[in-house]
Amino acid sequence: MSLDRSQAPRSKPPVDDFRFPDFRYQRIDDGLDLYSARWGRSPLVALELLLPGGGECDPSDRPGLASFAASLLDEGTERRSGQEIALTIERLGGSLGSGADWNSASVSSLCLAEHLETALDLVADVGLEPSYPDAAVERERGRRLAELRRRRSLPSQQADRLLQATLYAGTTYDHPLIGSEEGLRESDPATLRRFYADQMSGPITLIAVGDVDEQRLSDLVIPRLAARRTTTRFEPTPVEPPADERRVLIIDRPVGTQTELRIGHVGVPYSYPDRAALVVLTCLLGGKFTSRINLNLRERHGYTYGARAAFSTRRGPGPFVVSTAVETPSAGAAAREVFSELERIRDEAVSPEELADTVSYLLGVFPYTLQTADGIGSRLAQIAIHGLAHDHYQRWPKRLGAVTVEDLLRVANHALHPDQAVLVAVGPAADLEPQFAEFGRVGVSL
Amino acid sequence: MSTLPDLEILEHRLDNGLRIVLSPDDRLPLVTVNLWYHVGSRHERPGRTGLAHLFEHMLFQGSQHVGTNDHFAHIQQAGGVANGSTWFDRTNYYETLLAHRLDLGLWLESDRMGFLLPALTPDKLENQRQVVMNERRQRVDNQPYGRAFERLHELLYPLPHPYHWPVIGYMEDIEAATLDDVSDFFETYYRPNNAVLTLCGDFQPEEALARVAHFFADLPAGPAPPASPEPPSAESLLSHREILEDDVELERIYLAFRGPAFGEPEWYRADLLTTALCGGRSSPLYRDLVEERQLAQSLSISIFPTELEATVVLVATTRPEASSTDLEEAIWQHLHGVAETGPSPEDLERAQNGTLTGYFQGIENLDRRADLISQLAVFTGEPERAVRDVVHYAEADIESLRRTAAGLFRPERSIVLTVVPRGGAT
C-alpha cells in the first residue's frame, strides 16, 4: 500500500486558540509602572528597566550621546564599581547590560529566580544612580571610537550611514545610534551626568517575565524603585525631514566583489494608524522569505543571497529601507527590479490569496516569537514605550485578520514613495555609475 | 545547582533505520520538526568542496510532489518558519509550525528525503549556484576578516584532515559542481538510516509517532554511507604563525587549538574552561585585557561542538593604540597561568552558574532544544544526554580544569593568525 503524496496535507482544526499570555500591570506611582507575567518552564526571570533618553534625545552637536550615556549605566554607581556589578551578577549565573535604541534607554538582566532580589538591587542601582566614573567614561569612549573605525571598513555600515545622513539631514535621525567621532569626543563625564539628569531621570517602567511570584515581585520592587523619579516627561522634538527627489549616491569601494545596495526614503512613525495593514504590506513586499522582493532578486534572478524591506519602529518617522548585497555586474538590474516591485504594489491590488498567505504567516509566527521570557518582555516593552492599549497583543491577531486588499493598496500609496527614494551603493564606482544613470542624479564619494 | 527540568525524551526507530526522538511540551500550540542528516563538509573531497552546503540549498527547490519554490510557500502559508544549515559533520533542516500543521512538516521532509531526484534540474542547480556564490561573496570575500576562519582551518587541520576546507566551499569548486555530483551525494547520504528526526512541542507521543510512520515508513533504507578514513591526529600538528592582509581597520588575532570531540566529558570541561576564562565582563581575560590594560577592543573564546575534534579559538581585536604583539603576549600569560593553577574558585563558580543559565535559556526555545537533542542523537547515539550531560559542568573542579587547560593550551600545538590592514604585513 503506498501513500498518496500528491497533495499537501490539509490543515486539521487548531488545537486551541492562541492568546497572548495574561500579564499584570500596576501603576506604582507617577514615576513607576510595573508589568509582570509568569512564563516558561525554567527557573529564570528576565528583567527590563525602561528609562527615557533614547537616541531621539541626542543633541544636534553631540550625536551618539544617548547611546553613550545608556551604555555607561552599568559601568559604575555611587555604591558599586562596574566590575563589582558584573562580578555580583555573573557569579550567580546571571547577566546584566544597558543600552539605548532610538525610543528609550534600558537596563536588562536575566537571572535564576532564586537570585531575583540581588538582580533587582543591581538593576535599580544601575538605573537610578549611575555615577559616570572618569576612567569608565574614557574606556568606553575609546571602545566606541575604535568601533566607529571598525565600521568604516564594513560596506553595509557605510551604506546605512550614508542613507541616514542623506534622508535625515539636520534632524535627530541623521546619524547611527553610536554617533560620530566629534560627538563622542565632546562628551565628558559632566556632559553625561547632565544628559542623565535632563533626559533620563523621568518616569520608568520595570518589566519582569518568567518564574516570578507577582506579590513577591511588588514587595521587592517598591522599596527599590518607587517614589524615586521626577514625573516630568521630556518630549523630544519630532523629526520632520523634507521629501527628496530620487537620486543615487555611490561610495567608491574598488576592491569588493559585491555591491551593498540600499533604496530608502522617510517612512512613517510607529503610531501609524493603519499599522496592521502596514505590517502585512511590509511582510508581503520584503519581510518574509517568500516576499516579492526576495523571491524576485534571489530565487528568480540569483542576484543575491537575500533581500529585504522594512519600516523601522521609531516614535518619529524612521526610514523605510530595502537592503541587499548583489553581485556588482547585476547591481543596476537588481535596483530596477526593486523599483518595479515598489511601483507594482502601489499600482495593482494584491490577490486575495497572497494577502491570506501573508496574514496566515504573521498569525503563525506570532506565538513563535513568544517562546522565551524575553520574547514576552519585549512585547510588554512595546506596550509601555508606545503607549499601546493593554489588550493590544490580545487583539492583534484579529486586527491582522481584518486587513483587506484595499487597505494594502491605500497604505502602499500612502507610505511608499519610490519617486522620492534615495539609492545608496557601496562598490566599484566605475562599474556602478553607468548602471545607475537611469535612476536619477548620480553622486560619487570616495 | 537548580533542579534540572523534567524534559521527557522518547526514542524510537523505524524499520528503515530512521531514528525518531520525541520531546513533548504543551506550553504553546507549536511543534518543531527537526531533521539531521549525518553528512557535512567533511564528507566532501577536495575539488568538490561546498557540495554539502550547495546540496542543502537544492533541498529547498522542491521534490517530486512539491513545486520549485513551494517549500517555503507551504510553510509560510501555514504560519511556520523553516530553515536549514550545513556544518562540518552534519546538515539540518527544521520547520516550526502551529501544532495542528505537524503533517505538513512531515510531508515536506519525507518528500525530499524520498523523492528529490525526479525534481532536480540543471536550471535549479544554476540558480542556487548563483545564490551560494553570492552568499560566499557576502559572508567571506566581501566581509572584513571574512577569510580568517577559512585560513585558520586550513592551518589547524592540514590535509587530508576533512576539517581543512571551508563549509561553504571554495569559489572554483562551487562553480564546478555538476548535477551528477548532486545526485550522487543524495543517493549516498540522504537516507532514513543516516538521519535523526526530532519532534519537540505540543503533541501526544503515540499519535505523533504514528504520523511520522505514516510519512516515513515506506522510504527505503540505503546502504550505510562509506566509512570516513581516520583523520590525522592533533598530535601531528606543528605550531604555525601567519599574517593575513585584509581591508580592515583594526588588527585581529586568532589563536586556535584542537580540542576534544563534542560529547566527551573533556569537551564539557573545555567548554566550561572557556567561560571561566572569557565569559562575561567579570572574567579574568576580559577584565585584564579590555578594561584594565585596554589592549583589546573585543575578545571572545569559542569551542565548536564538532564530531571528530573541537576547534577552540580565541579571537581578540586590538585597540587602535595598542600593539597586537603585547596583546598576544598577555593572552598567553593567562593561558599559561590557568594551565598551571586552574581557574580561581570565583571564576569556576561564575562559569558553572552562567553555563547552567545558558542551558535553561536554550531549552526554552523549541528549535534550540530540538537541535541539542538531534545533535546528541547523531554524534553519540544518546539523545537523552540533552538532559543528563549538563552535570558534567557541575562536576568539574579546579584541578580537572587545570588539566584540561594544560592539555589544550600548548604553544607547540597552536595556530596564530593575525589579520592586519593592507600594507601592514611588515
Count of Cβ atoms closer than 10 Å to residue B268 Cβ = 23
Q: A197 vs chain B: nearest CA distance in angstroms?
A: 26
Number of A/B CB contacts below 8 angstroms equals 226
Hey, of A294, A327, A361, which one would you mutate to test binding to chain B, going by the most B CBs within 10 A of its CB?
A361
Sheet of strand B252-259, all strands in order from the earlier edge strand to the far edge: B240-246, B415-421, B252-259, B310-318, B296-303
Q: Going residue by residue through chain B (426 aa), what tens digit of pLDDT does each one get? A: 456 667 899 999 999 999 999 999 988 899 999 999 999 999 999 999 999 999 999 999 999 999 998 999 999 999 999 999 999 999 999 999 999 999 999 999 999 999 999 999 999 999 999 999 999 998 998 888 999 999 999 999 999 999 999 999 999 999 999 999 999 999 999 999 999 999 999 999 999 999 999 999 999 999 999 998 899 999 999 999 999 999 898 999 999 999 999 999 999 999 999 999 999 999 999 999 999 999 999 999 999 999 999 999 999 999 999 999 999 999 999 999 999 999 999 999 999 999 999 998 898 899 999 999 999 999 999 999 999 999 999 999 999 999 999 999 999 999 999 999 998 775
Of A5, A16, A143, the CB nearest to B107: A5
Of B30, B320, B364, the CB nearest to A42: B364
Same domain? A219 vs A262: no
Check whether A15 has a pLDDT greater than 60.
Answer: no
User: Is B221 among the domain residues?
Assistant: no
Q: What pairs with residue A232 in β-bridges? A: none
Cβ–Cβ below 8 Å for B65 and A6: yes
User: Is B426 among the domain residues?
Assistant: no
Hey, of B136, B216, B360, which one would you mutate to test binding to chain A, going by the most A CBs within 10 A of its CB?
B360
Query: Which residue, B253, B233, B258, B234, is CA-closest to B242?
Result: B253
Q: Using CA coordinates, name the residue in chain B closest to A364.
A: B79
Give the Å distances, CA to CA, from A52 to A103, A188, A323: 8, 20, 30
User: Is B159 among the domain residues?
Assistant: yes
Query: Cβ(A363)–Cβ(A370) under 8 Å?
Result: no
Same domain? B299 vs B188: no
Hey, of B6, B132, B170, B281, which one would you mutate to test binding to chain A, going by the most A CBs within 10 A of its CB?
B281
Cα separation, A419 vs A247, whole angstroms = 9
Same domain? A209 vs A354: no
pLDDT level of residue A229 (50, 70, 90 thresholds): confident
Same domain? A145 vs A216: yes
Query: Which residue, B413, B400, B407, B405, is CA-closest to B338?
Result: B405
Same domain? B151 vs B271: no
User: Is A273 among the domain residues?
Assistant: yes
Same domain? B406 vs B267: yes
Of A93, A154, A290, the CB nearest to B353: A93
Same domain? B72 vs B209: yes
- What pLDDT was estimated at residue B15? 97
Give the amino acid at B335.
Answer: L
Cβ–Cβ below 8 Å for A364 and B317: no
Same domain? B167 vs B270: no
pTM for the full predicted model: 0.91
Query: Cβ(B376)–Cβ(B369) under 8 Å?
Result: no
Same domain? B199 vs B239: no
Same domain? A266 vs A304: yes
Range of the domain at A149: 24-225
User: Is A236 among the domain residues?
Assistant: no
User: Is B223 among the domain residues?
Assistant: no
CA angle B117, B118, B124 (to 5 degrees): 75
Cβ–Cβ below 8 Å for A83 and B281: yes
Q: Is B255 helix (H, G, I), strand (E, B) or coil?
A: strand
Cβ–Cβ below 8 Å for A257 and B141: yes
pLDDT level of residue A237 (50, 70, 90 thresholds): low
Check whether A208 has a pLDDT greater than 90.
Answer: yes
Per DSSP, B192 falls in state G
Same domain? B159 vs B270: no
Same domain? B94 vs B40: yes
Tell me the H-state helices in A186-330.
Answer: 189-195, 214-225, 275-282, 292-294
User: Is B4 among the domain residues?
Assistant: no
User: Is A316 among the domain residues?
Assistant: yes
- What pLDDT was estimated at residue A17? 67
Cβ–Cβ below 8 Å for B72 and A290: yes
- Percentage above 90 pLDDT, chain A: 83
Check whether A42 has a pLDDT greater than 90.
Answer: no
Cβ–Cβ below 8 Å for B317 and A3: no
Q: Is A175 helix (H, G, I), strand (E, B) or coil?
A: coil
Q: Phi, psi (5° rounding) for residue B254?
A: -115, 120
Q: Phi, psi (5° rounding) for residue A412?
A: -60, -40
CATH code of the domain in which B261 resides: 3.30.830.10
Q: Could you tell me where the beta strands, DSSP code E, fall in A230-361?
A: 247-252, 258-266, 304-311, 319-327
Q: Can you tell me the mean pLDDT for A313-338?
A: 96
Same domain? B112 vs B251: no
Q: Which residues of B touch A305 (CB under 8 A)?
A: 131-132, 134-135, 137-139
Cβ–Cβ below 8 Å for B76 and A303: no
Cβ–Cβ below 8 Å for B72 and A361: no
Q: Which residues of A touch B350 (CB under 8 A)?
A: 87, 90-91, 93
Same domain? B414 vs B267: yes
Q: A300 vs chain B: nearest CA distance in angstroms?
A: 8
Sheet of strand A32-38, all strands in order from the earlier edge strand to the far edge: A24-29, A32-38, A204-210, A44-51, A105-112, A95-100
Number of domain units in chain B: 2
Q: Is B424 helix (H, G, I), strand (E, B) or coil?
A: coil
The helix or strand, by DSSP H or E, that contains position B314, with its residue range, turns out to be strand B310-318
Same domain? B327 vs B203: no
Same domain? A48 vs A197: yes
Cα separation, A384 vs A372, whole angstroms = 19
Same domain? A333 vs A202: no
Strand A32-38 to A204-210 pairing: parallel
Backbone CA torsion sign across B133, B134, B135, B136:
positive
Helix B324-341 vs helix B398-408: crossing angle, to nearest 10: 130
CB within 8 Å of chain A, chain B residues 118-157: 126-135, 137-139, 141-142, 144
Query: Cβ(B264)–Cβ(B382) under 8 Å?
Result: no
Check whether A427 has a pLDDT greater than 70.
Answer: yes
- What pLDDT was estimated at residue A256? 75
Hey, of B361, B367, B387, which one would you mutate to test binding to chain A, going by the most A CBs within 10 A of its CB?
B361
Cis amide linkage into residue B158, ω under 30° from 0: no
CB within 8 Å of chain A, chain B residues 380-409: none
Q: B297 vs chain A: nearest CA distance in angstroms?
A: 6
Final residue of a structural domain among A166, A194, A225:
A225
Inform me whether the C-beta atom of residue B236 falls under 8 Å from chain A C-beta atoms: no
Final residue of a structural domain among B189, B216, B243:
B216
CA angle B28, B32, B35 (to 5 degrees): 165
Cβ–Cβ below 8 Å for B28 and A43: no
Cβ–Cβ below 8 Å for B282 and A90: yes
Cα separation, A39 vs A33, whole angstroms = 20
Final residue of a structural domain among B162, B189, B216:
B216
Q: Which residues of B touch A144 (CB under 8 A)?
A: none
User: Is A41 among the domain residues?
Assistant: yes
User: Is A17 among the domain residues?
Assistant: no
Q: A230 vs chain B: nearest CA distance in angstroms?
A: 32
Same domain? A42 vs A188: yes
User: Is B229 among the domain residues?
Assistant: no
Cα separation, A111 vs A205, whole angstroms = 19
The helix or strand, by DSSP H or E, that contains position B242, with its residue range, turns out to be strand B240-246
Q: Which residues of A touch B100 (CB under 8 A)?
A: 11-15
Q: Is B200 helix (H, G, I), strand (E, B) or coil?
A: strand
Check whether A13 has a pLDDT greater than 80.
Answer: no
Residues 6+ apart with CB under 8 A from A395: A389
Range of the domain at B69: 10-216
Hey, of A158, A299, A370, A426, which one would you mutate to test binding to chain B, going by the most B CBs within 10 A of its CB?
A299
Q: Which residues of A touch B30 (CB under 8 A)?
A: 367-368, 371
User: Is B1 among the domain residues?
Assistant: no
Same domain? A221 vs A279: no
Give the Å distances, CA to CA, from B203 to A16, A369, B110: 12, 19, 19
Number of domain units in chain A: 2
- What pLDDT was estimated at residue B391? 92
Tell me the H-state helices in A111-267.
Answer: 116-128, 134-152, 155-167, 181-185, 189-195, 214-225
User: Is A235 among the domain residues?
Assistant: no
Same domain? B239 vs B209: no
Same domain? A195 vs A298: no
Give the Å distances, CA to CA, from B200 to A288, B36, B83: 24, 14, 16
Cβ–Cβ below 8 Å for B361 and A40: no
For chain B, percent helix, then strand, then coil, each to nearest 5?
Answer: 45, 20, 35
Q: A435 vs chain B: nearest CA distance in angstroms?
A: 19
CATH code of the domain in which A316 resides: 3.30.830.10
Q: A239 vs chain B: nearest CA distance in angstroms?
A: 33
How confident is the model over A80-135, as pLDDT tens digits? 999 999 999 999 999 999 999 999 999 999 999 999 999 999 999 999 999 999 99
Q: B408 vs chain A: nearest CA distance in angstroms?
A: 25
User: Is A13 among the domain residues?
Assistant: no
Q: How far apart are the first and last CA of chain A?
A: 68
User: Is B222 among the domain residues?
Assistant: no
Check whether A234 has a pLDDT greater than 80.
Answer: no
Check whether A285 has a pLDDT greater than 80.
Answer: yes
Cβ–Cβ below 8 Å for B99 and A15: yes
